[in-house]
Amino acid sequence: MEARYRGTSRQGQFIAERTWFHLCGIVGFTGEREAQEIVLDCLKRLEYRGYDSAGIAMISDGALTLKKSVGEISALESQIERMPGLTGIAHTRWATHGKPTTANAHPFTDCKGEYALVHNGILTNYMELKEQLIKRGHKFTSETDSEVLVHMLEEVAGADLKSKVLAVLKLVEGSYAIAVVQKGHDEIVAARNESPLIVGVGHDENFIASDVTAILKHTNEVIYLLDREAVRITPKGVELFDLNGVAFERDPKKVSWNLEDAEKSGYAHFMLKEIFEQPRAIHESLLGRLEGQEDDAFFKEQFTSIKILGCGTSYHAGLVGKYIIEELSRIPTNAQISSEYRYSPVTEAKPLVVCISQSGETADTLAAAREAKKRGCKTIAITNVLGSAITREADFVIYTRAGPEIGVAATKTFVTQLIALYLLGLRLGTIKNTISSERRREIVSEMRALPRIVQSVLNDAGKIEDFAKKYKCAQSMFFIGRHMNYPTSLEGALKTKEISYIHGEGYPAGELKHGPLALLSKDTPVVAICAADHTYEKMLGNVREVTARESPVLAIGVEGNQDLEKYAEDVFLVPKVDPLFSPIPIIVALQLFAYYLAIARGCPIDKPRNIAKTVTVE
Amino acid sequence: MKAVILAAGEGKRLRPFTYSEPKVMIPVANRSIMDYVVRSLVCNKITEIVMVVGYRKERIMSYFGDGDGFGAEITYVNQDKQLGNGHAVLAASEHIDGDFMILPGDSLIDARSVADLQSIGAGHGALVIESDMPAKYGVAILERNRISDILDRRGEGASNIVLAGAYKLPASFFDTLEICVEGGDYNLSHALKLYVQDIKIEPVFCQGLWIDAVYPWDLIEVNHAALANTPVQTAGTIETGVLIHGKVSIGKGTTIRAGTTLYGPIAIGLGCDIGPNVSIFSSTSIGDNVTIDPFSVIRNSVIMSDCSIGSHSMLSQSVLGYGVKVRSHLMASSADAFVNLEEEFYRVPNIGTLVGEDCSMGSGVSIEPGTIIGPKSRIMSGSKVSRNVPTGAIHS
């Protein structure tokens, strides 16, 4: 890989980077109802997984019909007429191999039009397979890795679809979640390896999908497939088996997410809805966890150091987590980006490794969790998705109870990840006896107050909207903070980049004078986080430093620090909290700021260009 | 039959409790007022519901979703400007064909009242009640078994029969309504006044429960009525030495500590921490994530989610909005009092204090009965509060 991209031009670099982002969604339905509408409806709920092309294949009375299009699923929907049939599969794609074109969109069929297949993942040995297939006369219609699978189905021996699919999977390497249908058969065969796939169990109808949100409207009974497992669904039944064809049984789990959770509830965008759901999400995450959890056997071990791993927003949560855990438990803690972890040397002391992933399917974080296990470290997973891949890798799991997050920009999952880290810090601190019982009581009561504090910030959303309108023309913007709010500034900058396409740069305030001051001018607004803690005076100094360069300053402060108005042009005050918890109300204010900036600039909020929600390749 | 629920208004008269939430979402016995309306409809197999929403509609839509959790199918209609209830009903017209019901979302109404209205068969009717309360929806003049006229307010010699705001009407009513609304009259009862001249609308006397929270202190009575019908469910941790009498429901994740006494009916939400040695008397509702410290006494009050009450506090016949924080030794006892609501004085029997959301109080605050304390205000330690405190004010 390294050699392939070395020395590429800027343009090349961009393409190379883009291929690292990958994610697709697949769904399948077989039952006694017309499948087309159901499949497309399910697929729409997976749009956040990628949306540069989509396609559907239907089985009806011995015919196999296929439709694909470029763009969002609504584009596909508008192009197709009614396709009859009780069985169908569909795919929403995020380009990895090959450009987003109709030809490259899934599903794919073989040369005879006997089978149709959808695939999410990357096949590592597809080049050689493809060459062999071409030599034997197969006609390829796309540039994708996925198409080899469907041509291989023609060649392998097997009595039925199930045994053919298993035979093909024996020959391929890489990651996949696939679903296959065959002309004249009301059945779907699906399998997974390192890509997410679930089975939805209904009455006289069954589903497969990349994740639960797709099928919740129809059923909440779900079977989670593990790696190297497969399933055959018919309207009447679900047969589970491993890749050797050995059948096994697993009971469905009831998923408590309601579909209403997955809809917008009157908010203009999912992101806004999710920002406003944060008080409830915090409340849920705290429920029953504020006391009496210290006796778990896992925490009996004495941890001498802690390493927190995550990507993107989860990494920022980890950076805040460093301060939280060190403050509460005095255990040396570091945060690292998941994909970099494997390059760090094995240390003599084995740190406790905390892996944070919203989806629990983030490939980089999964790989890091496996690496940590290999190194003999104990691991904790912090994730929002019950039964996701990372929960099977980790020794201990803390669930963030945020509910499904559809907006690509993480909001409520970030805040609940912080809650999970506060709870972890509190637990470690109680066990290590590094916090007094009085301080513990204070912390618990502060945590109970958090839902209301966040609600207060949300009630002031109108003020933030006004600030956003004022700053909407900025080309770039700095976010500065110190101590715990340095990572908050990084997260605020990331939100701004992701959805408003303004180049936001998070910086430790003390580092401004070591370089970035050169970039400041009256066209470069600075968002200064001035928490009411021991950094406050220093932050005022930084604000003066910035205003001296004529940069407009939006200061985010805490109620009681009204004197900020003397230093900064615009001031937004969040309710007073213990400094340990200041990142929570402040990030909520910055999320709203990024959201309203994007609104003012007319950006597509829930589906920003070039980024996807769950990144399932490394 | 479909039902239209009117839920677009803010409920200004119910301030301070409508500061960030529409009136229909105010919790009584830990469920929103409109929750009871929806359930009463579903009990009578009326599951197709059109909700007219406007003010803070997101709160409502997040709560009810598509109605699946309630066994209903809810369609939302957005009324951008809250011009009047007639205008609101008209907004729902495109979803209605045939007979339909109209219900206010902000009155506690039980299944029986809905059943009575429904039982007039092919006929049409309006729920009426004998009341000396101000006539919010108009006064009905009866002539044998039909409503012959509707007056805005009780005039001389007029009846004390008032409209409860719940109706069963035919779709043809929309024609009359449209004429009124286009003529600039957005009041539903004015359109009805015209309509009853030609079409027979029967009065249906309310035999069941119907309570409209008009003033903020009405919440105490509404809460009392709602608690009477709340099913008992007990979860959470109840330490040894807790005494429970009567109907008490306790939510998941809540801890009730030793020496606490609970005299039902009481509803306690999720994740609360109460005690040790707290006494709570009927009819009290406590929301989610509430802490009540030792030696506090609560009587017949509504305490909304996220409040914390310090030790040795006394609270009687009172309402605390969301997130009210009290340090310790709060005295909020009740008595007959004159309450100043927007510069009008009302004589209210046995009333405590009404505190808006996010108010924070220091230790040893004493509040005169009948005082209204605005949202986000701060009351300093040791204060004696004998007058209303405005929103966001600091009282010392």
Any CB–CB contact under 8 A between B294 and chain A? no
CB contact under 8 A, B66 and A259: yes
Q: Report d(CA A522, CA A144) in Å as an integer.
A: 48
For residue A548, give the nearest of A507, A520, A527, A571 by alpha carbon.
Answer: A520
> Has A24 been annotated as catalytic?
yes
Per-residue model confidence (pLDDT) at position A50:
61
B1 burial via Cβ count (<10 Å: 0-12, 13-18, 19+)? middle
Q: Which two tokens stand for residue A260?
A: 């209403």
A455 to B66: CB separation less than 8 angstroms, yes or no: no
Distance CA B182, CA B172 (A): 16
**10-residue mean pLDDT series, chain A (618 residues):** 29 28 77 91 78 84 85 77 89 69 88 91 86 91 89 90 93 90 92 87 92 84 87 93 90 65 71 92 87 72 92 95 95 95 86 92 91 93 83 90 83 95 93 90 92 93 94 93 95 94 93 86 92 92 90 92 87 93 96 95 78 65
SS (H, E, C) A363-393: HHHHHHHHHHHHCCCCEEEEECCCCCHHHHH
CA distance A522 to A475: 11
Q: Which of A130, A162, A378, A613 is catalytic?
A: A613
Our CA-based measurement puts residue A423 at a distance from the nearest CA of chain B, in whole angstroms, of 15
* Residue recorded with tokens 């399917």: A361
- In the structure encoding, which two tokens stand for residue B217, read together? 């202190």
Task: Mean pLDDT check: name the lowest of A454-468, B131-145, B228-242, B290-304.
Answer: B131-145
Q: How far apart are CA A178 and CA A161, in angstroms?
A: 13
Secondary structure letter of residue A527 according to DSSP: E
Q: What is the DSSP letter of A497?
A: I
A262 → chain B, closest CA residue: B65
Can you give the pLDDT at residue A12? 29
Which residues in chain B are contacts of A277 at CB distance < 8 A? Answer: 62
> Rounded to whole angstroms, what are the CA distances from A19 to A308, A309, A616?
26, 22, 12
CB B331, CB B361: distance < 8 Å: no
Q: How far apart are CA B171 and CA B384, in angstroms?
A: 57
CA B3 – CA B6 distance, rounded (Å): 10
Ordered by where they begin, the domains of chain B are 2-214 (3.90.550.10), 227-395 (2.160.10.10)
The residues, ordered by sequence, that sit 6+ positions from A268 with a Cβ below 8 Å of its Cβ are A599, A605
pLDDT of residue A98: 62
Query: Looking at this predicted complex, what is its ipTM?
Result: 0.81
Element of type H or E holding A536: helix A536-547
**CA separation for the pair B393, B371 (Å, rounded):** 14
The whole-number pLDDT of residue A604 equals 83
Give the single-character DSSP code of A268.
S
Q: Give the pLDDT band of residue B161 (cuts 50, 70, 90).
A: confident
Question: How many residues belong to chain A?
Answer: 618
User: Is A67 within 8 Å of A55 (Cβ atoms)?
Assistant: yes
Q: What are the Cα distances from residue B192, in Å, to A200, A601, B26, B142?
A: 51, 47, 29, 14
Answer yes or no: are the C-beta atoms of A244 and A228 closer than 8 Å. no
Interface of A with B in 452-511 (CB under 8 A): 452, 455-456, 459
- Whether B288 has its CB under 8 Å from any CB of chain A: the answer is yes
How close A450 gets to chain B, by Cα (Å)? 9
Residue of chain B whose alpha carbon sits nearest to that of A446 = B308
Q: Flag if B289 and A283 touch (Cβ within 8 Å).
A: yes
Beta strands in A31-169 (DSSP E): 53-60, 63-70, 87-93, 108-109, 115-120
CA distances from A597 to A464, A472, A552, A586 (A): 9, 6, 16, 16
Partner-chain contact A287 B66, CB within 8 Å: no
The reply to whether A263 touches chain B by the CB within 8 Å rule is yes
CB A297 within 8 A of CB A326: no
Residue range B137-141: average pLDDT? 79
What pLDDT, on the 0 to 100 scale, is given for residue A8?
Answer: 31
Q: Which domains does chain A have, with CATH numbers?
A: 23-260 (3.60.20.10), 265-459 (3.40.50.10490), 461-618 (3.40.50.10490)
Q: Do A260 and B308 touch (CB under 8 A)?
A: no
Please count the residue pairs, one from chain A and one from chain B, whose beta carbons lie less than 8 angstroms apart: 74
Assigned token pair, B165: 């705001």
The residue to which tokens 């030794």 are assigned: B329
Q: Give B235's contacts (C-beta < 8 A, 6+ positions apart).
A: B250, B251, B252, B253, B254
Tell me which DSSP letter residue A344 carries.
S
Distance CA B317, CA A191 (A): 62
DSSP 8-state code for residue A190: E
Tell me the DSSP string of A411-470: -HHHHHHHHHHHHHHHHHHHHHT-S-HHHHHHHHHHHHHHHHHHHHHHHTHHHHHHHHHH
Q: Give per-residue pLDDT as tens, B74-103.
A: 888 888 787 888 888 888 888 888 899 999
B275/chain A closest Cα distance in angstroms: 14
CB under 8 Å to B285, separation ≥6 — which residues? Answer: B27, B28, B29, B30, B223, B226, B227, B266, B267, B301, B302, B303
Question: Under a CB-based contact definition with an 8 Å cutoff, are residues A415 and A389 in contact?
Answer: no
Radius of gyration of chain A (CA): 25
Contact state of B57 with A266 under an 8 Å Cβ cutoff: yes
Question: What value does the CA radius of gyration of chain B take, rounded to a whole number of Å?
Answer: 22
Residues paired with B331 in a beta bridge: B314, B366
Nearest to B150, CA basis, from B187, B194, B193: B193
**Cβ–Cβ below 8 Å for A283 and B69:** no
The 10 Å Cβ neighbour count of residue A277 is 25
Residue B386 has what pLDDT? 92
| Confidence (pLDDT) at B125 | 87
Question: Which of B25, B55, B57, B58 should we substitute to test contact with A (largest number of A Cβ atoms within 10 Å)?
Answer: B58
pLDDT on residue A21: 32
> Which pLDDT score, from 0 to 100, does residue A615 have?
67
Whether the CB-CB separation of B77 and B60 falls below 8 Å is answered with no
Per-residue b or e along A255-273, where b marks 16 or more CB atoms closer than 10 Å to that residue's CB: beebbbbbbbbbbebbbbb
**Partners of residue B62 on adjacent β-strands:** none
Cα nearest neighbour of B56 on chain A: A266
Task: Please tell me if residue B295 touches chain A, with a CB cutoff of 8 Å.
Answer: no
**Closest to A160 measured CA to CA, from A65, A79, A239, A223:** A239
Average pLDDT, chain A: 86
What is d(CA B104, CA B393) in angstroms, rounded to the nearest whole number? 34
Token pair of B200 as six digits? 């027979």
Residue A42 is among the residues annotated as catalytic for this protein:
no
Q: What whole-number distance in Å separates Cα of residue A219 and Cα of residue B49?
A: 23
* Count of all residues that appear for chain B in the document: 396
| DSSP tag of A47 | G
Note whether B289 contacts A: Cβ–Cβ < 8 A.
Answer: yes
β-pairing, B325-326 vs B360-361, is parallel
Which residues of chain A lie closer than 8 angstroms to B58, CB-CB? 265-267, 273, 276
SS3 state of residue A251:
coil
Written as one letter, the residue type at A389 is A
Name chain A contacts of B20, Cβ cutoff 8 Å.
455, 459
Complete DSSP assignment for A304-327: S-EEEEESHHHHHHHHHHHHHHHH
B370 at A interface, C-beta within 8 A: no
Whether B58 and A273 lie within 8 Å, measured CB to CB: yes
Percent of chain B's residues with pLDDT above 90: 47
Give me the residue label for tokens 């570091």.
A334
- In angstroms, rounded to a whole number, what is the distance separating the alpha carbons of residues B368 and B337? 9
Interface probe for B, chosen from A265, A269, A289, A460 (most Cβ of B below 10 Å), is: A265
Q: How far is B70 from chain A (nearest CA, A)?
A: 12
pTM, rounded to two decimals: 0.75
pLDDT of residue B133: 67
- Sign of the torsion formed by the C-alpha atoms of B226, B232, B235 and B238: positive
Interchain CB distance below 8 Å, B58 and A276: yes
Q: Do B68 and A259 touch (CB under 8 A)?
A: yes
